[in-house]
Amino acid sequence: GALVYQYPRRTICKSGTSMRMECQAVGFQATSVAWYRQSPQKTFELIALSTVNSAIKYEQNFTQEKFPISHPNLSFSSMTVLNAYLEDRGLYLCGAREGHQNTLYFGAGTRLSVL
Amino acid sequence: QQKVQQSPESLIVPEGAMTSLNCTFSDSASQYFAWYRQHSGKAPKALMSIFSNGEKEEGRFTIHLNKASLHFSLHIRDSQPSDSALYLCAVLSGGNYKPTFGKGTSLVVHP
């Protein structure tokens, strides 16, 4: 079956520092990876959509300068939260799909706390 | 920009009840409608999806879509405690692939 492993599961960083999270797709080819943030206020925001061999598309309010993403092959993607502050807290989820399928396979998320 | 809203925000039902969850969307050109379920501490997982107006049933779960009213719903028959989770609806607009999710409905089914 299709699985997505996401790590770390939890991380705590000091205000102003950065942290990186990674996603590994197993059992399918992650042609596209969508990164979301599920905030304490319960919103489920799309940060960016990455497709192998294409430019990464960031949503309004999210930038490459703040959330750089790497998607070097069909099984791996990473995202870094640079200069994290309190408003960046939340559960970051990666969802991957294969080819032109509509279903996203999600990782369990990386919960970011900022001190 | 696509807006997806879910109601209710939370729901508590007794075991065996029929549960109804709602999702509205703003883009009339939307083409794909899905429900995901996220158990506490776990990854969201696709539950059911539908493309065209009407109903689709899989076991105890039924999805209903009415594009004209920009609304789709999930109905759970004979709700079980194991159904307790956060239910997220997702909508895909036409054109570029860009799944938009609602905030979710937190469902608790008590024995």
Q: State the DSSP string of B46-80.
A: EEEEE-SSEEEEETTEEEEEETTTTEEEEEESS--
CA angle centred on B82, ends A105 and B11, rounded to 5°: 90
| Amino acid code (one letter) for A80 | T
Q: Hey, is the C-beta of B103 within 8 angstroms of any chain A C-beta? A: yes
Closest chain B CA to residue A42:
B103
Cβ pairs A/B, distance under 8 A = 53
Helices (H) and strands (E) counted in chain A, each on its own, are: 0, 11
CB proximity B45 to A under 8 Å: yes
Give the three-state DSSP class for B102.
coil
Asked if B42 is an interface residue toward chain A (Cβ–Cβ < 8 A), one would say yes
| Residue B46 · residue B88 · CB < 8 Å | no
Give how far A16 is from chain B: nearest CA, Å.
27
pLDDT of amino acid B93: 81
By the CB < 8 Å criterion, does A90 face chain B?
Answer: no
pLDDT tens-place string over residues B6-62: 999 999 999 999 999 999 999 999 999 999 999 999 999 999 999 999 999 999 999
Q: Tell me if B102 sits within 8 A of B6, measured CB to CB.
A: yes
pLDDT in tens, A52-95: 888 899 999 999 999 999 999 999 999 999 999 999 999 999 99
pLDDT the model gives residue B74: 98
Residue of A4, A44, A50 to mutate when probing chain B, most B C-beta within 10 A? A44
Q: What is the pLDDT of residue B98?
A: 87
- Residue A53's pLDDT is 83
Tell me, yes or no, if B81 comes closer than 8 A to chain A by beta carbon.
Answer: no
pLDDT digits (tens, 9 = 90+) for B60-95: 999 999 999 999 999 999 999 999 999 999 999 867
pLDDT in tens, A28-42: 999 999 999 998 777
Contact yes or no for B92 and A102 at CB 8 A: yes
Q: What pairs with residue A21 in β-bridges?
A: A79
pLDDT at A1: 86
Q: Give B7's contacts in chain A (Cβ within 8 Å).
A: none
Q: Nearest to residue B37, comparing CAs of B91, B73, B3, B86?
A: B86
Angstrom CA distances, B35 to A53, B11, B57, stand at 29, 16, 13
Q: Residues 16-75, chain A: which have Cβ within 8 Å of B?
A: 32, 34, 36, 42-44, 46, 49, 57, 60
pLDDT at A108: 96
Contact A49 B104 (CB under 8 A): no
Q: With CA atoms as reference, report the closest residue to A34 among A57, A55, A63, A53.
A: A57
Looking at residue B94, what is its pLDDT? 65
